[in-house]
Amino acid sequence: MHIPALIKVLCCFGLILTLNRLRLHLSLSLLVGAVAVGLWMGQPVVQIGRGLAISFTRMETLQLVAIICLILVVSQLMKVSGQLDRIVKNFVAMVKSASTVSVVMPALIGLLPMPGGALFSAPMVETAVTGCSLTQDRKTAVNYWFRHIWEFWWPLYPGVVLAVSLLQVEMWRFILIQAPLTLFSVAAGSIFLLKPLRVNNHRDEAGNGGVRLLAPFLWEVMPILLVVGSIVFLALLRSCLSWAGIKVNLPNSLPLILGLAVCSIWVMGANRLGLMDLWRALVNRNTLLMVLLIFGIMAFKGALIDSQAVLQIREEMVRYRVPFLMVVMGMPFISGLITGIAIGFVGATFPLLVPLFAGLSPLDFLLHASLAYVSGYVGMMLSPVHLCLLVTKDYFKASLAASYRHIYKPAVALMVTWMVVLGLIHSL
């Protein structure tokens, strides 16, 4: 009996998610999925092994590993040196508005990706809303939601870096299409989560030394500004050279790598850290696990291409009239719901989806990619295994079910709003 390639890949996709739910690390789950795809599509074992070796040693893979390592090293160095604490303290001293602090504190912590980072901002949110009639489950939702408002486009997030790499687009183009989502996310969170603060805010008063503390605050966030500045500067430089008729072929990842390298040097110099501090950050367990995850993702992507599964799926979708948007939205959502991490839904679904976008105009390509990313993001935010949700719930001693009653509202509003926006852009 002939089994369609789409069914085979979906079964392998299900295998990956099942193994991950059974506590096998996602990197190994993806590796098993890659081998399963190759075998089911009729590839010889030797060919599968050769394909895996090529996937592991591609320049694209090595660049990704370098970027992810640098991001996690910078995050770790800023955390152990106390620089992250100083950023938060300077901001709290400048602004004493309950609503502002409860939004900005999780958002500031969210600028640096770290597992369970929402736990860091939870005490600050609790202090900020003292005197406001907020339930524990609403506090959980506020801290959790605003912790992740940057994850659509912020270039320090591994999920964003991986999406840009798999899409083969320049970072600034991805940022341009995704950045409005942060504004929509803040708006949705404000409407559905912060209303009691606006009504019962007894602590809405200006900070005493706001202007005086602005310079120290900007100094502490300088490493983050350097990364963003490097991306913007090199994008503008490339545009100016192109306008002058000089074409420069540089890797899309180069601006981010250079920015992160400068950022690392700045953090070490400003905090007087030594090589041992750098080494400890580099061999940190989270860093090593993330590197393994990159190898697993690239192996899965290579298997889908080498086995020609993607080509067959594209033909089958036309033949069986499978709704394209159902695949684009459904797979990332399910993956995000089960893995609870952005790099999980990007790594598991984008290798399959991106080749299906072939033939679309550049704008439609980005619009479909954005829709897939937001679908995965919403699934991730609703995931019962999302670490940030679990640690925040435990900190506030809130009910998971009660917290969901608050979280799903801005999540649904964000998804619907973005679908309307993308539809309007497409129709123009």
For the stretch 127-157, pLDDT in tens is: 666 666 778 898 899 989 999 999 999 888 8
Work out the average pLDDT over 368-372.
95
Q: What is the mean pLDDT of the chain?
A: 83
Q: With 60 as the cut, is the pLDDT of residue 204 above it?
A: no
* 394 band by pLDDT with thresholds 50, 70 and 90: confident
Q: Which of 163-167, 196-200, 215-219, 349-353 has the lowest mean pLDDT?
A: 196-200
What pLDDT is stored for residue 128 in this prediction? 65
List helix spans (H) across 22-135.
Answer: 26-40, 45-57, 59-80, 83-94, 98-110, 118-128
* 416 band by pLDDT with thresholds 50, 70 and 90: very high
Single out the residue of 274, 257, 254, 260 nearest to residue 223, CA to CA. Answer: 260
What pLDDT is stored for residue 201 in this prediction? 45
What pLDDT is stored for residue 178 in this prediction? 95
For residue 317, give the 3-state DSSP assignment. Answer: helix
Distance, in Å, from the CA atom of 365 to the CA atom of 327, rounded to the nearest integer, reads: 15
Render pLDDT for 68-104 as a digit per residue (tens, 0 to 9): 788 788 878 888 888 877 877 777 777 666 567 677 7
What pLDDT is stored for residue 207 in this prediction? 47
Q: With 70 as the cut, is the pLDDT of residue 333 above it?
A: yes
Maximum Cα interatomic distance, the chain, rounded to a whole number of Å: 75
For 400, left (φ over 0), alpha (ψ -120 to 50), or beta? Answer: alpha
Q: Using the 8-state DSSP alphabet, how is residue 112 labeled?
A: S
What pLDDT is stored for residue 86 in this prediction? 81
* 259 band by pLDDT with thresholds 50, 70 and 90: confident
Nearest-5° Cα angle at 280, 278 to 283 = 110
Top-ranked range on mean pLDDT: pick from 101-105, 109-113, 258-262? 258-262
What pLDDT is stored for residue 331 in this prediction? 84
Distance, in Å, from the CA atom of 69 to the CA atom of 287, rounded to the nearest integer, reads: 6
Single out the residue of 408, 400, 385, 371 nearest to residue 337, CA to CA. Answer: 385
Render pLDDT for 286-326 as a digit per residue (tens, 0 to 9): 788 878 888 887 888 888 878 887 678 777 776 777 788 88
Work out the average pLDDT over 55-70.
85
Work out the average pLDDT over 360-372.
93
3-state helix, strand, coil in the chain (%, to 5): 80, 0, 20
Share of the chain above pLDDT 70, in %: 89
Contact yes or no for 364/98 (Cβ under 8 A): no
CA atoms within 13 A on the CB side of 28: 9
Work out the average pLDDT over 361-378.
94
Q: Which distant-in-sequence residues (6+ apart) come within 8 Å of 232 by Cβ?
A: 172
What angle do the packed helices 285-306 and 158-167 form, to 10 degrees? 20
Please tell me which residue, 246 or 277, carries the higher pLDDT value.
277
List helix spans (H) across 117-221.
Answer: 118-128, 136-147, 158-167, 171-178, 180-193, 195-200, 210-220
Q: Residue 78 is which amino acid?
A: M
What pLDDT is stored for residue 84 in this prediction? 74
What pLDDT is stored for residue 39 in this prediction? 93
What angle do the packed helices 362-381 and 158-167 form, to 10 degrees? 150
Distance, in Å, from the CA atom of 352 to the CA atom of 332, rounded to the nearest integer, reads: 10
Q: With 70 as the cut, is the pLDDT of residue 109 above it?
A: yes
Contact yes or no for 331/349 (Cβ under 8 A): yes
Classify burial at 304, counting beta carbons within 10 Å of its beta carbon; exposed 0-12, middle 13-18, buried 19 or more.
Answer: buried
What pLDDT is stored for residue 184 in this prediction? 95
Q: pTM for this structure?
A: 0.71
Q: With 60 as the cut, is the pLDDT of residue 202 above it?
A: no
Q: With 80 as the cut, is the pLDDT of residue 372 above it?
A: yes
What pLDDT is stored for residue 386 in this prediction? 81
Q: With 50 as the cut, is the pLDDT of residue 121 above it?
A: yes
